[in-house]
Amino acid sequence: MGKAKKTKKFAMTKRLISLKDSRIKKEDRAAKKKKKKDPQNMSIRELPQASSALFFQYNDQLGPPYHILLDTNFINFSIKNKLDLFQSLMDCLYAKCIPYVTDCVMAELEKLGSKYRVALRIVKDPRFERLPCLHKGTYADDCLVQRVKEHKCYIVATCDKDLKRRIRKIPGVPIMFIQAHRFSIERMPDAYGAPRV
């Protein structure tokens, strides 16, 4: 004899006792009924202030020369892909670019040791602008997110998935990353002639 096929039951829901059931006490019935909201007792929500730089999700402060915040892994991946940072930035955006490196990124590169000494020597080039950090700790991701929230004039260059996810939540901040051995940019307004991805 063969096995009988059992069909799976879909959309099974947990059986609930109705409020009219005799097993429920009167006090519990009153607690389970939803209370109507009082219009006089409305709660006040605090929403973050939208940046004045944004106009229909387009950032007015973006424009040549572009200010680009570099992350540790972006510098490292550009070296691995044998890309010249300055030339590749200009090829991507078709304009002059000023790369910025924060103290946190420098500290992160120094902590990584001898494997990343080439990246550290490249970043110490005088063409890179240094941004001093006034906060505690040396975690570069928090530093970059905080700086981008304060000033909307930066493009963030990173290959880190978690950092990209955090920056996508901030409106008007483009993200630069490496794709197919060249730099690419996402969330850049079409008004500035950004290349299509």
At 15, list the tokens: 């059986």
Contact assessment for residue 179 and residue 197, using Cβ atoms and an 8 Å cutoff: yes
CATH of the domain at 177: 3.40.50.1010
Within a domain: residue 54?
no
CA angle 57/93/159 to nearest 5° reads: 80
Q: Containing domain of residue 116, as a range?
A: 64-189
Within a domain: residue 133?
yes
Q: Residue 116 corresponds to which amino acid?
A: Y
Within a domain: residue 33?
no
Within a domain: residue 144?
yes
Domain count, the chain: 1
pLDDT value at residue 81: 95
Residue by residue, pLDDT tens for the chain (197 residues) are 567 666 666 666 777 777 778 887 777 766 666 666 677 777 777 777 777 777 666 787 888 899 999 999 999 999 999 999 999 999 998 899 999 999 999 999 999 989 999 999 999 999 999 999 988 888 899 999 999 999 889 999 999 999 999 999 998 899 999 999 999 998 876 644 455 55
